[in-house]
A and B are shown apart, each in its own frame.
Chain A
Amino acid sequence: DIQMTQSPSSLSASVGDRVTITCQASQDIRTYLNWYQQKPGKAPKVLIYDASNLETGVPSRFSGSGSGTDFSFTISSLQPEDIATYYCQQYDNLPLRFGQGTRLEIK
């Protein structure tokens, strides 16, 4: 199985801050990585697919990059509505696996 290590597990930042989350795969997954946002009590929603492609309708302040084993997810200017938990997910191989999640809070 491919293991996904996401960091940090939690993050506190101010409105307008640039926020970056990283995700490391235990083996090369090319660019087969997605990023999801999950707000409290809601189902996850995909924001970034294939490592760097912005999902239709998602604000451009969200971005993703990386390939191989190291990936990052960035919010360029944090907004109050971005408070959520973020997960990476690999699909290079089965089983599909998510990172442990990063809980983002407003300082």
Chain B
Amino acid sequence: SQTIHQWPATLVQPVGSPLSLECTVEGTSNPNLYWYRQAAGRGLQLLFYSVGIGQISSEVPQNLSASRPQDRQFILSSKKLLLSDSGFYLCAWTATGRGKLFFGSGTQLSVL
């Protein structure tokens, strides 16, 4: 069966520090991968999605970037974090372009 792993679960970082969040999917090939952010008590905002290795689409201009170095690995990065980058970050995947969406367990990021 397919599983998605996301780490770390919580992260506290100072303003101006770098960020790297990693997500991996097991049990499937060539998934579509997504990064979402959720502010406290709010809905989900799509940040990036990828349909294949090295293919990244950005939905919102921001301080973050994403990379997909391997088929089932998706990384969210920042060179210098801002206070406004705080939030709950969720990785997700679908098997097909408009398929059933499955989420990882999320990373709670606090930038202080």
Q: Is B one of A's binding partners? A: no
B interface residue numbers (CB < 8 A to A):
none
A interface residue numbers (CB < 8 A to B):
none
